[in-house]
Each structure stands twice: as C-alpha cells, then as structure tokens.
Amino acid sequence: MAGNGSLFDLSGRVAVVTGGNRGIGHAMALGLARAGASVAVLARNAEQNQLVLAELKAIGKPALALPLDVTDRPALAPAVAEVERTLGGIDILVNNAGIVALSGGVLNETADVWDKTIETHLNASFLLSQLVAKSMVKRKSGGKIINLASMYSIFGSGLVPSYSAAKGAIVQLTKSLAIELAPYNIQVNAIAPGWIETDMTAAVRSSPMNDEIMARTPAKRWGKSDEIIGATVFLASRGADFITGATLPVDGGYSVY
C-alpha cells in the first residue's frame, strides 16, 4: 500500500481550471501544478493567460493556457479537445470561472445581467462537466470534478440575486453529477469559499459590508486566495476518492453562524 504522503500527489494527472488566470482560479492552478499535475488554464484574457502560463512552466510541469469565454458554447468542445491533444486526457476539472454584478436586487437587475451570470456560473459548469465526464467515462479513467460554490449557495443576498441563484444551483448540480458519475469512479464535489481577498471583492472590502462580514467571521479576517489550494488539491487527489457530492466551506467559520 502506498504511504499517506502519496495520497495528495497529482503527478501524471491533467487538470483544467476555468478562469484560472487571476484570483482564486490562479491560486488553484498553481497549487495543482505544485502538487504534480499538468495544468491547462482556460480564461478570457490572453495577456493574463500568458503570465500564468509562465508561472506554471516555471514549476516544471507541462502547461497550457487557452483564451476561452465559457459562455461561448460552440468554443467549449474545441477547447477540451485542444487540452487533450496537448496534455492528455483530463483527470481533474475545476469549474471556477465566474462573474458578479452588484445589481442592487431583483427590482433593479436586468434580464441581461441575470442571463450572463447564470450562463457563466451554472450553464458553463454543466456543459464543461458533461464534456469532460464523457471523456472520462470513455477512457474508463475515473476523475475529479470540482465546482466553485459560495457562501451565497447557503445564504441569500438581496444585492446579487442572479449570483446567489447560480451558486445555489451549483450545489445541486454537484450532487446530481456525483450520483450519476459515482459508478464510473468520478467524484464530484464543490468548494464554497468565504470572503476571500480578490479583485472581485475589492469593492466589498471598502464598503460598510466589511464590518458585518468581520463580525460574523470567527477568524476575524478575510481569506487569501492561496488558502483555497489545500481544499482543491485534497478534492483532486486520491485522498478524496470516497468523498462525492459534498460542498466544503473554506470560510474562516463564516457559515457556522
């Protein structure tokens, strides 16, 4: 039997991280590479993609960065095919790409904002999971799918209804995929970050909401993007082979209350 130290070694694995060129996705991509995986980043900004590609290559593992808007449905299958041609069959999919629009609530949010948010978070996660899972099943390789949930998967928000709805649905999608794919040795789980310091949350950190967040967070601080890496590597590894359909909060205790 292999020692425990090998449980979290991702050598020989191929991982895809959507939105992996900044924030939490960037941290996860680098963390997976440091754990031994070959990593493909799929994200919109070509310039940022090249920066993270250089970082991935410096780690010493094969890497790829492709410009991709996950709401561009016809582009999804070619992107997956390009990853598999270049790096090999995909073993780990991280559905991280996301947007948020502080619309102010249902009375103010436009249908376009609603549609774009649902398409980016929920529809893209479903479609990419479907594509990658079909490949995993065909190859009989097993695999890991990790979706990005949120505190708003649990708690509603009067300010970002589309984001809350999408993230709530991500948890249910995760459970449904986990049930269907378990017989194929594919585990599907979600990570629910708490309040993490990223460009996306910069406005919140300088708003009156910050005091409310700090009062509710037992750790009494914001999290760092790198603090999502441990959960990501764990769920992507052999150490999580008997865990599926779960949503793991990484939130400094915010969801305890």
Would you please indicate which residues are annotated as catalytic (active-site) residues?
163
Q: Is 3 exposed, middle or buried (0-12, 13-18, 19+ CB in 10 A)?
A: exposed
Tell me the C-alpha distance between 195 and 198, whole Å: 9
Handedness of CA 64, 68, 74, 76 (dihedral sign): positive
The answer to whether 148 and 204 are in contact (CB under 8 A) is no
Closest by Cα among 119, 231, 247, 245 to 190: 247
* Alpha helix (H) residue ranges in 37-183: 46-59, 73-86, 111-118, 124-139, 161-181
Tell me the C-alpha distance between 123 and 129, whole Å: 10
Tokens read off for 26: 């960037």
